[in-house]
Structure 1
Amino acid sequence: MLRDATEDDVNLMLSWRNQEINRQASKTSHVITADEHERWWAATRDDPGRRVLTYLREGRPCGVVTFFDLRWECPRTGAWGFYLDAEGLAERGATLPAWLGVMGAAVDYAFDVLELDRLDGEVLAHNTVVRRMNRRFRFVESPGIRQVRDGREITVVPISLDRANRRRR
């Protein structure tokens, strides 16, 4: 289940985002400082072109979904990303169900709540597990783009999912 993120979620979001596995799967891999996170939250929480949601599994917060670059004119488009409390979910043996759950909930939210026509995103080329999961949800990849971020060379693979190609659960 997804709900709007609140001030009570901010510290959890930061701790999850700074987990090593999440940093290595992100374009920016440095440890996010509290000040940097506060600036992001202040700029994001009231931005009409963004949504920050907390993912709940069995009533517990365990992930974040962000929608950004929301465009309300036709066609309605937006981009998204997510990360989970990888360490906490691994300890509980709940990583795969949470991963499937957050992706399904995010796709449903994009098309049913935001009423988007297309959902865009990005994944790092080396993240083959996520790329496979994206294909399972019918996202289509575009050619990768090489970038240098935080002193490392990465290849960012754009992905998109059109409403018509959405897999219904």
Structure 2
Amino acid sequence: MADVETLRQVDVTDLPILRRWRNHPDIRRYMYTQHEITAHEHQAWFERMQTNPQVHLLMYVEDGTPRGYAQLTVKAHRADWGFYVSPDAKKGTGRKLGHTVLDYAFHELQLEKVCGEALSFNEGSIAFHKALGFTHEGTLRAHACIRSDFVDVFCFGLLKADWLTE
């Protein structure tokens, strides 16, 4: 039986699982913010995001079980995205999340472009963006301070026209 994949808005009941995923060392090490997020911090972030109509907080669900998270921050006809999957997600979950979120961005939100960033040492995210058809559009040199080191950030872009021709 094939997995049934859905995308829904994050709600307050999702916060504990999102915080647990976000604080997992395998996820946290690739974030701009490296410290463990407290419950208070997480709640404050969620409340800020709820007041911004440009922000779409999305839970990726397979067969009724949350498996990943994505955020789209819309600016005019494009969006910046961020994402992660459950640390115990099976192989291939990230790719399914990516396809589902990009379909939502280009079909439901009618965006023309989705932009992403990856820390230069995050080889998995770099490969992921390329596998989804993103173009490496530039490098922000020494852009992020991670554990007292300044690292480059790679910028990626995917146009609606390129996504629809896949």
Q: Does 1:31 pair with 2:36?
A: yes
Q: 2:160 is aligned with what amino acid?
A: R
Q: Does 1:80 pair with 2:75?
A: no
Which whole-Å deviations, capped at 9, do the CAs of 1:27-86 have from their partners, x for residues lacking one?
Answer: 211111111111100000231110101110221012111011x123xxx11111101111
Tell me the residue number matched to 1:21: 26
Task: Answer yes or no: is the 8 Å Cα contact 2:138–2:156 preserved in 1.
Answer: no
Shift of 1:110: 0.8
Percent identity among equivalent residues?
Answer: 25
The count of residues paired between Structure 1 and Structure 2 equals 159
1:14 & 1:122 partners in 2: Cα distance?
21
TM, length-normalised to structure 1: 0.88
Tell me the residue number matched to 2:161: 164
For 1:9, what is the secondary structure of its paired residue? Answer: helix
Tell me the residue number matched to 1:2: 7
Which whole-Å deviations, capped at 9, do the CAs of 1:113-148 have from their partners, x for residues lacking one?
Answer: 111001111011111122112111110112322121
Task: Answer yes or no: is the 8 Å Cα contact 2:133–2:163 preserved in 1.
Answer: yes
- In the alignment, structure 2 segments of 5+ residues that lack a partner are 1-5
TM, length-normalised to structure 2: 0.89
Please list, as runs of the form range in 1=range in 2, the aligned pairs for 1:66-105 lying within 5 A after superposition: 66-68=71-73, 70-72=74-76, 76-86=77-87, 88-89=88-89, 94=90, 96-105=91-100
Tell me the residue number matched to 2:121: 126
**Consecutive aligned runs of 4 or more in structure 1 exceeding 6 Å deviation:** none
